[in-house]
Structure 1
Amino acid sequence: MANISNAQSSLNYRWPKLLAWLRTKGMKTGADDLLVESAGNGLFARTSCTPSSLLFAVPPQALMNIRTLKSLYPTSGPMPLTAVQMISLHLYINRPHGSEDSLDPHYGPYISTLPREFDSHPLTWIVRSKSGMESGGAPLLGYLPPSVHASLVKLHDRFCQDWAAVRAYLVGNTQYCTWFRHLKRYQTANSYISSKYDAYVDNIDNSTSNYVWAWLNVNTRCIYYRLKASKEDPDNLTLCPILDFANHTPNGSHMTPAPSEADIWDSAPVNLIGKGFRFLSPADVSVQEGKEIFLAYGAHPNRTLFVEYGFVNKSLGEVGITDGEVDVQNVVESLILGHKSGVFVKSVLEDEGYWGDWTLYCSAESAQPSWRLITALRLHCLFVSNNTIHNAIQPWHDVIAGKREMISDGNELAWKESLITICNTIITKAQASPKSDGAEEYGHGWLPWMRENIRTLWREELLVAAAVKQRTLSGDDF
């Protein structure tokens, strides 16, 4: 096993506590194998690691997921919780008070290492703004690109659905409330958990900020972990100690989770809790002593990274772009619905599964619209050119079925002209985006960094749209 150190200085004294707790859960490592340093944030190799070597292994009992929490939270009855809801409920109840450690008897040492706040995350801004608070990052909401704001609203809707489910669970699950009251009496020293229950009973709305903290820890830190027979089951996820400290890299070498037995055999897990999580060093290179070991969160565009995780990749230049994507839903929707055939076109696209999820994207090799966008524009232009709602659309169906390459030469010219119009709209908005929020009081802490992230989002929209427009004008085929 490689020696790994967490380099987050604020966790120096909590790191040994976490390791001691992990040993009680079955982690086979000495106290000196994982040490804390004070130079930045992340996981760093304290010894050289050969490719695909074991970095660390977290025992199953130390993972926080729907299986390990099952005995604490009844899953039967009219209001069962999803994995996200159950894990966030446990964090919500056991959030550390201020700078103190969590008093949770089950996962306290691990919960104590989690971030203490998410003030810089855009979900926090929108939750606070809904409560009438305009402090912190709330003013920045007005400076987001429309596509990013739309994605953030969807994230907020998901959060609200989970929060409503957790509140209903707490109110309606008598078995849970009985257990919680028992815990309150049994663990009299755990004043924080006791006060948590009292605060919930007194005024649940005041607890929303605590649930935001809990939910964001789950949303930004959970990783896929096979627990169900179906690989696609949304409850296949877990929180994993140590892994939390790994930073994201959009490219380059990163550690990888070793496949579980369930994944290897592609069958229903025999042991539903699994055998724990093993993480391997990068497969392509050796990791030298003192070098950081990264984790890839996934091939996400900056819009997704910003909304889900609260940061962006800084891979964009001023005149060129390496990788990028723009969601053009709002622009295309306005274009289609602005025509008299719009409602009918929308219904056809919905029936065929092509309504929405329209993007422009760009890489070092190419820049182009998504196939979904091309398909939608072809149908829209078919009705615009024929000036009738009930025109036969069999040629369009033949194209999406792969029976023909295009509807007609005229239709190809028309949808590409519409694409240029869309690109011009995106470019104009990006060029007119505010370069500063004009409020000097927001120039401290993480706010300057976040304003730069927002500028990056606008710059990405500008560069991607310009690249797609240029290729369209050049007459390139998509």
Structure 2
Amino acid sequence: MNIRTLKSLHPTSGPTPLTATQMISLHLYINRPHGSEDSLDSHYGPYISTLPREFDSHPLTWIVQSKRGMETGGVPLLKYLPSSVYASLVKLHDRFYQDWDAVRVYLQTANSYISSKYDAYLDHNDVSTSNYLWAWLNVNTRCIYYRLKASREDPDNLTLCPILDFANHTPNGLHSMIPAPSEADIWDAAPVKPTGFGFLSPADASVQEGEEIFLAYGAHPSRTLFIEYGFVNKLLSNVEITDGEVDVQDVVESLILDHKSGVFVKSVLQDKGYWGDWILYCSAESAQPSWRLITALRLHCLIVSNHTMHHNAIQPWCDVIAGKREMISDGNELAWKELLITICDTIITKAQASLDTLESEGAEYGHSGSDGWLAWMCENIRTLWREELSVAAAVKERTLRGDDF
């Protein structure tokens, strides 16, 4: 089910064109099964009937419900999310509503252009939004990359695929298979005709009869897995997290803007393309701030030490980002690293306090019943905080040790 196989079912000439995500979601939206019944779609009904019937445990559902004044399901868990995770969730929420708005415009336009077959789906009420949310989350969590367009990077290169949809996924290469490149990918040319899926088995492991083969979804930070797919990789209790990342946008943004030079620093960083996307990284081999974060902290410390907000004063910083010099000065290096330690301490303190709060308040979400997944999601949120704590502590340790970044 993709933009090519659905184009004959939903007109693409006349009405506002849809992206692949919007079109597949539209088809699922108007063919959602009622209750436990099968989908009545004559084209994809059997497949649609195998899809998840609800996404109550997905954080996007919580924020959509919270915007409508609801306090049920996972809505109360929103207050426990790390700031960076909540910010990413808001972006996903905005993306969802952009697609929903586009689909509603399409339905209205198509309805007047060809027929009244979309009449029953034009309402913009809670039920319609909930049904489209169900459709959209099926697309966002289950579509896989499939080359359909001339450009390899075209966002419409995705598809829902029966049977393959049953495959379990894994973040590592153990007993995992990866899609083989198509001829279009090999030659970086437009696909001549649709091709089937080919898969490559792992090169460094043998698979025995009866063992499960997984699809490898690659390395993603827990924040991405939680926001996009509604889970994080399972960890054993109290196991130290050696791989992860923390988005420190909120902490660094406040640090910069709370200073009298904040507006000037922000304008310079925006002009040079370095505002935002500030990350702390941690792996088994290393722990460090991103280059973008180092660059922002260097500028902030330079302006603070010079007590001046003038473009001539930032020339040493400009020389660094241009590759003309390695650093601004020894003093600037000491200053931004001290600031980095402060940032890490802020994250560690916040993470530990949040973990303590979850420990004391999370028990109420451990009951069984229709919302039995709440205890599982509480543990996922704990994992998000443990990752922030571990990554920040590792970066702080390396900074205090005097390691070069």
**TM-score tier after normalising by the smaller chain length:** over 0.9
**Match for residue 159 of structure 1 among 80, 96, 101:** 96
2:137 corresponds, among 216, 220, 226, to 216
Q: Does 1:454 align with 2:377?
A: no
Closer, same or farther in 2 for the Cα pair 1:279/1:78, shift >3 Å?
same
> Secondary structure of the equivalent of 1:360?
strand
Choose the corresponding residue for 2:69, options 110, 132, 157: 132
Aligned with residue 435 of structure 1, among 332, 347, 358:
358
- The Cα of 1:160 is off from its aligned counterpart by 0.7
Q: Deviations over 1:411-439 (max 9, x none)?
A: 10011011011001100101110224356
Alignment of 1:262-411 (within 5 A): 262-271=184-193, 274-315=194-235, 318=238, 320-390=240-310, 391-411=312-332
- Higher relative contact order structure (alpha carbons within 8 Å, sequence separation ≥ 6): 1
Shift of 1:250: 1.6
Query: Aligned residues: percent identity?
Result: 82
TM-score by length of 2: 0.94
Q: Contact between 1:423 and 1:468, CA under 8 Å: does it hold in 2?
A: yes
Structure 1 residue runs of 5 or longer lacking an equivalent are: 1-63, 182-196
Q: Could you say which residue in structure 2 is the equivalent of 1:98?
A: 35
In structure 2, relative to structure 1, the CA distance for the partners of 1:137 and 1:368 (3 Å cut) is: same
* 1:37-76 CA distance string (max 9 Å, x none): xxxxxxxxxxxxxxxxxxxxxxxxxxx1111111111223
Q: CA deviation at 1:180?
A: 2.5
Equivalent residue number for residue 245 of structure 1:
166
CA RMSD of aligned residues (A): 1.7
Give the drift of 1:294. 1.3
Give 1:255's aligned residue: 177
* CA spacing shift, 1:414–1:113, aligned 2, 3 Å: same
294-303 vs 275-284, greater mean Cα deviation: 275-284
Structure 2 stretches lacking a partner, 5+ long: none
Partner residue of 1:425?
346
Distance 2:206 2:167 in 1: 17
- 1:463 paired with 2:404, answer no
- CA separation in 1, counterparts of 2:215 and 2:122? 40
CA distance in 1, matches of 2:186, 2:117: 39
Report deviation, 1:176: 6.5
* CA-CA distance at 1:305 after TM superposition: 0.3
* Aligned equivalent of 1:476: 403
The structural deviation recorded for 1:114 is 0.9
Look up the equivalent residue of 2:214 and give its one-letter code: F
CA distance in 2, matches of 1:134, 1:239: 32
Q: Which one of the candidate residues 98, 115, 120 is aligned to 2:52?
A: 115
Q: How many residues align?
A: 397
In 1, are the aligned partners of 2:173 and 2:216 still within 8 Å (CA)?
no
AA in 2 matched with 1:458: W
Residue 111 of structure 2 contacts residue 117 of structure 2 at CA under 8 Å; is this kept in 1? no
CA distance, structure 1, for counterparts of residue 69 and residue 363 of structure 2: 19
| Aligned amino acid, residue 228 of structure 2 | E
TM-score with structure 1 setting the length: 0.80
- SS where residue 288 of structure 2 aligns? strand
For 2:306 and 2:15, how far apart are their aligned partners in 1?
53
The one-character-per-residue Cα deviations of 1:199-230 (angstroms, maximum 9, x if unpaired) are x3455442111111100000001111111111
Task: Tell me the secondary structure at the aligned position of residue 403 of structure 2.
Answer: coil
SS of the aligned residue for 2:198 comes to strand
Offset from partner CA, 1:305-356 (integer Å, 9 cap, x none): 0000011013476363220110100000001111111111111111211111
Quick check: 2:149–2:156 contact (8 Å CA) kept in 1? yes
Q: Are the equivalent residues in 1 in contact too, given 2:222–2:384 (CA < 8 A)? A: yes
Asked if the contact 1:321/1:364 (under 8 Å) is kept, the reply is no
